[in-house]
Amino acid sequence: MDALGWLIFLVALLVSVMLHETGHFVAAKRFGMKCTRYFIGFGPTLWSTWRGETEYGIKALPFGGFVKIVGMTSIDEVEPEDEPRSFRRAPGWQRLIVLAAGSFMHFVLAAVLIFAVA
C-alpha cells in the first residue's frame, strides 16, 4: 500500500475512534455525568484545550482514544462535590447506555456509509 493509502486508512481509523468516543461522551453528558477528558490517541499529549470542565486533546500514538468519566470504577478517587455526577452513582440503565453508546456509533457510521455509497 502506498503512502496515500496508509494516510487514508489512518484518518478513517481516527474518525472511527473519534465517533466511538463521542458516543460515550454525549451519552454521559446527557445523563449529567462529569466528563473531565476526551482524547484521541495514547501516550504524550500533542495538543489539548479546555472547554468548560472537559479537556479535549490529541495524543501522540493513534491507537485508540478515551473519555474520562468521573467515578468509572468504585476505586476511583472522587471529590465529594462530584460524587452525585459520577458514573458509579448513575442508575444501571444509564450506565449501560453510556457503555453501549460507543458501539452504537459504529452502526450509525455504517448506515451513513451505506447510504452515501448507494
Kindly report, residue by residue over 46-70, the tens digit of the pLDDT: 999 999 999 999 999 988 999 999 9
pLDDT(4) > 90:
yes
Residue 57 forms beta bridges with which residues? 39, 48
Share of the chain above pLDDT 90, in %: 88
Amino acid at 23: G
pLDDT band at 1 (very low <50, low <70, confident <90, very high): low
pLDDT(83) > 90:
yes
Cell numbers that stand for 10 in this block: 489512518
d(CA 18, CA 101): 12
pLDDT score, position 107 = 94
Average pLDDT over residues 15-31: 96
pLDDT score, position 81 = 95
Q: Where are the alpha helices (H) located in the chain, listed in sequence order?
A: 3-30, 92-117
Average pLDDT over residues 13-26: 94
21 is catalytic: yes
pTM reported for the whole predicted model: 0.90
Closest to 16 measured CA to CA, from 48, 63, 57: 63
